[in-house]
Amino acid sequence: MDKLTLIPLGGFGEFGKNCTVLKYGDDLLVIDVGLQFPDDDMPGVDLVIPDFTYLVQHRAQIQGIVFTHGHEDHIGALPYLLAQIPAKLYATPLTRGLIEGKLREDRLMSSAELHTILPGQEITLGAFKVTAYHVNHSIPDSIGLAIRTPLGLVVHTGDFKIDHTPIDGKTIDLGALAKLSMEGVLLLLSDSTNAESIGYTMSESRIIDSLQQVFSHAQGRIIIATFASLISRIQLVIQIAAQFGRKVAIAGRSMEESISIAEKLGYISFPAGLRMPITAINALPPNEVCILATGSQGEPTAALGRMAKGHFRNVTINEGDTVVYSSKAIPGNETAIYRTIDELFRLGADVIYGEQAGVHVSGHAAQEELKLLLNLLRPLYFVPMHGAHRMLYRHAQLAYSIGYSREDVFVLENGHTLECTAAGARLGEVIAVNTVYVDGSLVGDVGNTVLRDRMTLSQDGFVIAKVTVDGVLGRIAQVPELISQGFIWEPTSAELLHQAQEAIAGIVSSCNGEFDADTLAQRVKGSLERLFYNETKRRPVVIPMIIQS
Amino acid sequence: MDKLTLIPLGGFGEFGKNCTVLKYGDDLLVIDVGLQFPDDDMPGVDLVIPDFTYLVQHRAQIQGIVFTHGHEDHIGALPYLLAQIPAKLYATPLTRGLIEGKLREDRLMSSAELHTILPGQEITLGAFKVTAYHVNHSIPDSIGLAIRTPLGLVVHTGDFKIDHTPIDGKTIDLGALAKLSMEGVLLLLSDSTNAESIGYTMSESRIIDSLQQVFSHAQGRIIIATFASLISRIQLVIQIAAQFGRKVAIAGRSMEESISIAEKLGYISFPAGLRMPITAINALPPNEVCILATGSQGEPTAALGRMAKGHFRNVTINEGDTVVYSSKAIPGNETAIYRTIDELFRLGADVIYGEQAGVHVSGHAAQEELKLLLNLLRPLYFVPMHGAHRMLYRHAQLAYSIGYSREDVFVLENGHTLECTAAGARLGEVIAVNTVYVDGSLVGDVGNTVLRDRMTLSQDGFVIAKVTVDGVLGRIAQVPELISQGFIWEPTSAELLHQAQEAIAGIVSSCNGEFDADTLAQRVKGSLERLFYNETKRRPVVIPMIIQS
C-alpha cells in the first residue's frame, strides 16, 4: 500500500539537533542535520548530534538533504554525517555559504554535492517534489518547505516567525502558504520553540527604538553582545552605529567568520569607512566606538567573557562603557551569563540585559502566530516539532484550542515514526535512536555510563587505597596509602585517613593470611565507603589497589 | 569619635545567606543568619553559610540577633552559628516558631535565649534601640527594622513588597515608615531581589483569579507545587479548594512541618473536614482532590519529582490530572524543573507553569516600589542589600534616577564595611569573609581547591596507572595496569590503553635502571596526559602509582 512515513531523528522532545526524515517507497528525504549544545547533566561533553545509524544504513536511498537555514541546530552536525556517507545538499545562498565554510574547515567538500535552491523553484528528489517558501527568522534566507508526495502535501515550517517589518524588508510569503492551503495539506510539521509564549513575537524592527535610545544616552563605548549567526541583528547594529557616528569593530572569531560570509554574499554591508579593526579601536574617542562581540552566553573564552575578566587584549572595560546583551539566555547558561554581567558592573560598565530592556526579540513564532499558521493551512494531521517535550505538548494544546481533535495531532519523540496512508495517519514502528555525544575528538564513545561516573565523581571525588600485603605472611607490609581528590581537604582530614588505615589493617589481619586479592579489595572498598559515609555523609568513589609484595 | 559601622556578612552580591551586622562602640547587632543553596559550580555541596569567624571572635559583644522573617535564607544558618556560640534571638511569633522547630531538631535549644518581638514594640540591645514594623512578603509575620543609634536612625527593610490587598489583610505599615521619614533616616538598607523588574509587583490576591480559573476547568485531581514556606499561598489554595469542594492533602515532609507550625500559631487554618491524609486520597473521586506538594524546584526526591517518576507511593499521575507550579524557578534549577514538567506532560497531565500563567507572584518589591520607599524615607545614605551584584547595581541606578548622587550610595560586597560618623559615610576596612560550604556532615572543610578538583573530575574523569618496577633490575616487572572512570568507555578504548602501556614501558626502559619513584611518576603522568589529549582531546586526571617489587 502507498505509504508516507515521517521519521523524527532529532529535535522532537529536545532543543536542537534538528533532523527530520520523510520516506516514501524506497526514497528518503532528509531535512536539516543540526547539533545540540550539552545540558548541565552532560559534564565534559562538547556537542550532541543525531544518531545517524538509520541514515548510514539507508544511505543508498537518500535522495538529498534540504536545509531550512544556516543556524548550528540545523546545519551543525553535517560534518559528522558526511564523515560517514557522501550526500547531495540543497540550500539557499547564505545557508550554502555557511555550510561551505564548515565543510572546508573539516576538509569534507569532496563528500558533498552542493546545490543552491531559491524560494518558488521546485526540485525533484525521488518521489518528493520540494518547493521552498520564504519565512522570517533571525537569519536571512530562511525557508519553509512544501513537499509534494504521491500521498499528498507535507509542509515543514523550518524555524519561523511572522514579521511584517523585517530588517531586510522580505516578509514571510503568506501568499505561498495560502496557495498551499487551497491545494490541501496532508501533514504540517511546525516549529514549537515559542509555543509557551502568549501573543505575537515582536518584529525585529521593534529593537530599533530600544537600540537608538541606548546609543543616544551612552557617553562611552558601546559593546553589543549577540549571536554570531544573528545576521539581521548585526546589520541593524551597523546601521544604527552609522546613524550615531560610531565606527564598528568585531570581537570574536565566530562573529568575524559569519560576518565575512554574509558580507561576501550580500547579506551584510558596512557603509564606507565604518568598519574598523579591533586593534585600531583604542585610538578613537570612546563615544565614536561600537564593538560587536561574541560571548552573550557567558562563555568564559569568548570575547565578552575575556573582556569581563580583563583578559581581552584590545579592549579593557572602563567606567562609562555600555554593554548591551542583544540576545537571550539559552536555558542552562544563566549562571555563567549572570557571572559575566556582575563582573562588567564591577568594572563600572552600564549593562543592559534581559527581556524588559527591549534589545532582543525572538526569531520564533509565538502562540497566536502558530494558531494563525494552523488555521491558514488547516492540515489534516499536525505534528509539533523543534522543541522540548513541554513545548510540543503546548503546541498540541494550541491545535486542540482551535478545534483539532486529539486523534489528528501527534506528539512524537525521536525515533517514533508516523505512517500516513490513504486510510489515515497512525503511529508506526519505533526505531532505536540514541543520543550521540561528541567529547573531544571522539564521537559516540561517551555513553550514559561514563556520564554517570562523571556526575558521581563531581559530587564527592575519589579515594584510592593502596594496600601492600606481604604475600607470604599475609599481613600489611606497608602502612596503607590513601590518595584522594575532590573528597575532602587533606590538611583537615588526617584523623579520618588514620581511621581508614586502621580499618584496612583490621581487615587484613582478620583474614589470618587466607585471602585472595579480589575478596580483600571488595572488603576494603565496602569498609571505607561505610566509614567515609558515617564520618562525613559523603560518598566518594573508593578504588582499592591490592599489591602483594 | 562616634562611629557606626555596617558589616555585611552575607547577601551582598549574592542570593541568600543574608546576614548583616551593625557595630556601635563595642556593641554588635546581628540581623538574620541565613543560608544559601549551592550554585551549579559547587558540585557535591549541600549548603552555603556565612563565615562566622567575625561573630565568633566578637561573641561577647553581640547584643542579640534579630530575625526579619522565617525563610531559610534568613534563619537557615542559625544552627551552624549556635553550634559555636550561644545567642539571644529576637523574632516575631511565626518566625520564632520556625526557628524553634529547627533548633529542636538539631538539639540546640539550650544555646538559644528566645524572645518574641511584635511590630511597634521597642527593644534595647546595647547601644541599639530596635523597633519592628510590619511588611508584606510571601510569609506572614515579616518585619522591617527601625534601628535607633546614637548617630542616627538606620532602616533595614528585610524582604518586602508593598501589597495593598494581601491574603491576611495586613498591609505594610506605610504610616510607620512615614513617621520614620519625619524623624530623619541616616542609612537605608533595602531589599534588591527584584531590582531588575520594572513596575510594581502584583498583589498576592492577583493569584486568586488565576487559581479559580484552574479549579473551574480541571476535571481530574489538582496538584499544586509550591514552596513549603509560602504560608500565604498555602492558605490561599486551602480557601479556593474549599470553595470548589475539593479536599486538601499534603505531600512532602517540609510542607507538612511548616504547615503544622503555622497552623499551631494560627497562620494557617483548614475549614472543618477539608484536610485529608495523603493515604486516604485515592478513595475520593479525582475532581474532589487537591494536593499541595513539595518539589517545585525539580528536586528529584521531593513529592512532585517522585510522582513524575512514578515513585510516589500514594499518588500516581493520571491522564486528566492538572499540575500547577505556583512558584518561580530559582536560578540554576531550570533544567531540573523542565525535566519534571516534561515527565508530567508525558504521563498525560496538564501542566500549568511559568510567569504568563499568573499562578505565582513574587514576594519582593519591584522598581517602582523600591523608588517609592527611597522617596518616602529619603535616607542620607543608601546601601542596596539582598541580591546578586547586578541587582545591587540596578538598585543603585534606581537611587540615581530619583536624584541620589553617587557619593551617597554604596554598593558593598560581603566583608566591605561602611563607616558612618558625624562627618559622613565612607568605606571602612575590609574584613576577610570566606564562603563556607557545608558538604555532608562537615562544615567548612570543602574549599575552592576541592571544588576545582571535582569540576575537573566531572569533565573527563581519571586514569590510574599502576606501574610495577623491578627494584633491582630497574625494568617493568608486570604489564602496567590502567584503571579509569568517567574518561572513556572501556570496550572501545583497548587500543588507547595499549598505547599507554607501551609509553610507560618506554619511559621505564629509558631510565636504564637509574630512577627514583617520584621522577618516574612525574614522567608517566606527563606522558599519559599528552597521549590522552592527542588521541582524544580530553584531559583526564592522571594518577601514577609506582610500585617497586
User: A101-136: per-residue pLDDT in tens?
Assistant: 999 988 999 999 999 999 999 999 999 999 999 999
For residues A476 and A508, is the Cβ–Cβ distance under 8 A? yes
pLDDT at B424: 95
Is the per-residue pLDDT at A459 higher than 70? yes
Are A266 and A217 contacting, i.e. CB atoms less than 8 angstroms apart? no
Report the SS3 class of residue A310. Answer: coil
The CA distance from A292 to A441, in Å, is: 30
Q: Is residue A490's pLDDT more than 70? A: no
pLDDT digits (tens, 9 = 90+) for B495-506: 888 888 889 988
Identify the pLDDT of residue A492: 65
B354/B358 Cα distance (integer angstroms): 8
Q: What is the mean pLDDT of residues A168-181?
A: 95
pLDDT tens string A273-286:
999 999 999 999 99
Does position A449 have pLDDT exceeding 80, yes or no?
no
Instruction: Check residue A305 and give its pLDDT.
Output: 94
Q: Where are the alpha helices (DSSP H) in A245-347?
A: 253-264, 303-308, 334-346
pLDDT of residue B492: 65
For B126, which DSSP code?
Answer: T
Q: What are phi and psi of B36, to 5 degrees?
A: -130, 145
Distance CA A232, CA A334 (A): 24
Q: How many A-B residue pairs are in contact by the CB < 8 A criterion?
A: 182
Residues of A in contact with B535 (CB under 8 A): 441
Residue A490 contacts B where some CB pair is shorter than 8 Å: no
B457 touches chain A (CB under 8 A): yes
Calculate helix-pair angle for B517-536, B494-510, nearest 10 degrees. 150
The mean pLDDT value for A489-514 works out to 81
Residues of chain B with pLDDT under 50: none
Residues in A touching B445 (Cβ below 8 Å) = 488-489, 492-493
Q: What homologous superfamily is domain B204-355 in, according to CATH?
A: Metallo-hydrolase/oxidoreductase (3.40.50.10710)
Determine the pLDDT at residue B287: 96
For position A479, what pLDDT does the model report?
A: 86
User: How far is the alpha carbon of B549 from chain A, nearest alpha carbon, in Å?
Assistant: 6
State in Å, rounded, how far the first CA of chain B is from the last one. 73
- In this complex, the residue of A198, A390, A450 whose CB is nearest that of residue B489 is A450
DSSP strand pairing (B122-125 vs B87-91): unpaired
| Distance of alpha carbon A434 from alpha carbon A444, whole angstroms | 9
Spell out which residues of chain A touch residue B41, defining contact as CB-CB under 8 Å.
Answer: 335
Asked if A321 reaches chain B (Cβ–Cβ under 8 Å), the answer is no
A395 catalytically annotated = no
Report the pLDDT value the prediction gives residue B33, as an integer from 0 to 100: 98
What's the N-to-C CA distance of chain A in angstroms? Answer: 73
Output b/e per residue, A255-284; b: 16+ Cβ within 10 A.
Answer: bbbbbebbbebebbebeeebebebeebeee
Question: Would you state the pLDDT for residue A198?
Answer: 94
C-alpha cell at A478: 606497608
pTM, 2 dp: 0.87
Residue A510 is placed in which grid cell? 582478620
Q: How is chain A split into domains, by residue range? A: 4-199+362-443, 204-355, 461-548
Among the partner residues B335, B450, B547, nearest to A486 by beta-carbon distance: B450
The yes-or-no verdict on residue A495 having pLDDT over 90 is no
Can you list the pairs that B497-502 forms with residues at least 24 positions away whose Cβ atoms lie under 8 Å?
Answer: B499/B531, B499/B535, B500/B463, B500/B465, B500/B528, B500/B531, B500/B532
Digit-coded pLDDT (tens) for A28-44: 999 999 999 887 777 77
Residues of chain B above pLDDT 90, percent = 71
The partner residue sitting opposite B457, judged by closest CB among A446, A486, A545, is A486
Q: B121: how many CB neighbours lie within 10 A of its CB?
A: 10
* C-alpha neighbours within 13 Å on the C-beta side of residue B277: 3
pLDDT-derived band at A253, boundaries 50, 70, 90: very high
Distance from CA of A538 to the nearest CA of B (A): 5
Contact B342 A543 (CB under 8 A): no
- The cell for A54 is 538509520
Return the closest-CA partner of residue A441 out of B497, B537, B489, B492: B537
Residue of A nearest to B535 (CA): A441
Give the DSSP H/E element, type plus range, for residue A143.
Answer: strand A143-149
Beta bridge partners of B171: none
Residue A381 has pLDDT above 70, yes or no: yes
**Measured between alpha carbons, how far is A524 from A510 in angstroms, rounded to an integer?**
12
Q: Quick check: B342 and A488 CB within 8 A?
A: no
- Residue A214: pLDDT band (50, 70, 90) is very high
Nearest alpha-carbon partner for B233 in B200, B257, B255: B255
The pLDDT assigned to B482 comes to 87
> Does A72 lie at the interface with B, CB-CB under 8 angstroms?
no
Least confident of A68-72, A346-350, A458-462: A458-462
Give the residue with greater pLDDT, A459 vs B262: B262
State the cell numbers at A196.
Answer: 509557551
R_g (Cα) of chain B, nearest Å: 29
Per-residue DSSP letter, B130: E
Do A342 and B447 count as a contact with CB atoms less than 8 A apart?
Answer: no
Is the CB of residue B378 less than 8 Å away from at least one CB of chain A? Answer: no
Average pLDDT over residues A148-160: 98
Whether the Cβ atoms of residue A190 and residue A370 lie closer than 8 Å to each other: yes
3-state secondary structure of B119: coil
pLDDT at A162 over 90: yes
Sign of the dihedral defined by the CA atoms of residues B95, B97, B101, B104, in that order: positive
Cell of B420: 558612618
The owner of cell 514576594 is B363
B109-139 pLDDT, tens digit per residue, is 999 999 999 999 999 999 999 999 999 999 9
**Chain B, 194-213: which have a CB under 8 Å from a chain A CB?**
196-198
Among the partner-chain residues B335, B486, B492, the one whose CB lies closest to the CB of A457 is B486
- Of the listed ranges A193-207, A369-383, B118-132, B438-452, the one predicted with least confidence: B438-452
Query: According to the model, what pLDDT value does residue B491 have?
Result: 60
Of A338, A442, A453, the CB nearest to B486: A453
pLDDT surpasses 80 at A172:
yes
DSSP strand pairing (B416-421 vs B424-430): antiparallel
Q: What is the pLDDT of residue B490?
A: 66
Looking at beta carbons, which residues of chain A come within 8 Å of B530?
Answer: none
Given this model, what pLDDT does residue B427 score? Answer: 97
Among A320-334, A375-389, B416-430, where is mean pLDDT lowest?
A320-334
Contacts with B75 (C-beta within 8 Å, 6 or more apart), sequence order: B32, B33, B34, B67, B91, B95, B98, B99, B102
Give domain B4-199+362-443's CATH architecture: 4-Layer Sandwich (3.60)
CATH tag, A461-548: 3.10.20.580
For residue B509, the model assigns a pLDDT of: 83
Q: How far is CA A110 from CA A88, A103, A261, in A?
A: 11, 9, 20
Give phi and psi for B17, each to the nearest 5: 40, 55
